[in-house]
Every structure is written in C-alpha cells, then in structure tokens.
Chain A
Amino acid sequence: MRENVVIRTISRISVPFIQVFALYVIVHGAVGAGGGFQGGVAFAASFILMFIAFGLSGVEKRLGKKWLMVYSIIGIAIYAGIGFLCLAAGGNYLEYGAIESAVGVAHLHGYLIDAVEMGIGITVMAVMVSIISDVMDRDGESP
C-alpha cells in the first residue's frame, strides 16, 4: 500500500485541485452555498488524502504537529479579532456594518466576511488534520 505508484500519482495530481476547490468554497460562502467550515473540511480532505497516499511521516515533515496548533490558533484569532473590532467600533459582535461606517470604506463588510470565513477555514483545517493524524495508526510507535 505504502509504495503504490497509482495511488501516489493520482493523489499528487488531484491534491492541488482539491485545495483550489476548497478555497473557492470558502470565498464563495459570502454570496452562496459554501462557507468556512465546508471549505476547511475540503482543505483538510486533501491532507487526509496525502496521509493515505504518502504515510504520516511524509506529510508531517511539511505540516508538523506544532504548526497545526499554530494554524488553529491563528484562525480563531482572526475570527475573534474581527468580532472584537466590531465591538470596538460600536456595534454588536461580528456586526460588520459598524466597522464599515467607522472606517468609511464602501463594501468593507464583504471583505470582512471573507476574512472571518478564512479564519474559520484555517481553524477547521488544522483541527481536522490533527484529529486524523492522532487517530491514524503509527505502526506501533507512540505519537
């Protein structure tokens, strides 16, 4: 299984497309179906495919446990930071219109929604991948 050339080649081809589709779902979430959670799960699915095709050690060289934790904190910090910025601008939590009227830039709330969705997506991706890498079999060695 670990040395299967068919699975490795096809995952190498399809992983970039899955990741682009995940970003599309995240950005599309403001105007239609999709959103941060769904896009984050799709992004995590590409890493899970890499876990299956290349094994745990191959992926963890590029996306280590420490960085997964850092990414999950960055995502939730973006989300909470924009929420509290709205509070600071005089609105409710995540009331983007407050920042838009305070700064005076037109259509700013659209970008803020996208930024919040990105934060959710980063957190969901990192947590999903860390759950899978915890659950997966490590050939007897402890994590």
Chain B
Amino acid sequence: MMNTLASIFVVIGLFFMVVGALGLIRLPDFYTRVHASGKCDTMGEGMMLLGFILYEGTSLIAVKMFLLVLFIFITSPTAVHAIMNVAHTCGTEPWKIGDERR
C-alpha cells in the first residue's frame, strides 16, 4: 500500500520533471523558460522526495528528507524570483505573440 502511494508520488514528480525539461526546450523566451525550470525544482523534486519519505517510513533519513522538501519549497521559488527580478531590472522584454523565439 505504502509502496504504491510512494510510486504514485515519484511518478507525479517525474511528470513535473519532464514538463519542466520540455518547457525549457520549447518555450520562447527567458521568463517562460525560467518559469518552466522552476517547476522542476519545486514540484518535481518535492514530489519525488515525498514519495521517498513514504517509501522509507519513520526514520532519521525520512526526517532529513522532509527538511529537504521544506527548504526546497521555501528557497527554490525565491531563487527563481531573484533571477526574474534581475532580468526585469536589466530590461529584458517579455515575449509577445508574433515575436521571434529567443
């Protein structure tokens, strides 16, 4: 039962990883690509680590992985926000429909 739940979480995480990689290749400009790769970090890693916690059961390793999930959820969106903020300050124009891919 727990193993099934763990594999479901890992598969959800893998789905987010694939979506993020796809977005990194396919999306047209800087902002959208950073947005896609941010999903890799937060949702992909977080879901996979949650699956690993369920697989591990109650142990010290599970507590450490829970702390990892917590800090990734806090810091990864902040890092993406910082990168976006710097790009906006430096004057990167967002992509509009009809523009060329950058």
Interface stretch, picked from B7-15, B24-32, B35-43, B80-88, is B80-88
Say what secondary structure dominates the interface of chain B. Answer: helix
Interface, chain B (partner A; CB < 8 A)? 71, 74-75, 78, 81-82, 85-86, 89
- Knowing A1-B86, A1-B89 are in contact, say whether A7-B74 is a contact too (CB < 8 A): no
A29 → B minimal CB distance (Å)? 18
Enumerate chain B residues within 8 angstroms of A52, measured Cβ to Cβ.
82
The 4 closest A-B pairs by CB, nearest first: A10-B78, A7-B82, A6-B81, A1-B89
Residue in B closest to A49 when the chains form the complex, CB atoms: B75
Interface, chain A (partner B; CB < 8 A)? 1, 4, 6-7, 10, 13-14, 17, 52
Enumerate chain B residues within 8 angstroms of A13, measured Cβ to Cβ.
74
Enumerate chain B residues within 8 angstroms of A1, measured Cβ to Cβ.
82, 85-86, 89
Residue in A closest to B78 when the chains form the complex, CB atoms: A10
Instruction: Beyond the given A14-B71, A14-B74, please list 10 additional residue pairs across the A-B interface where CB-CB is below 8 A.
Output: A1-B86, A1-B89, A4-B85, A6-B78, A7-B85, A10-B78, A13-B74, A14-B75, A17-B71, A52-B82
Q: Would you call B75 and A10 a contact (CB within 8 A)? A: yes
Q: A13 to B86: give the CA distance in the assembly, Å.
A: 21
Q: Would you call A7 and B81 a contact (CB within 8 A)? A: yes
Enumerate chain A residues within 8 angstroms of B71, measured Cβ to Cβ.
14, 17
Q: Would you call A7 and B89 a contact (CB within 8 A)? A: no
A7 → B minimal CB distance (Å)? 5
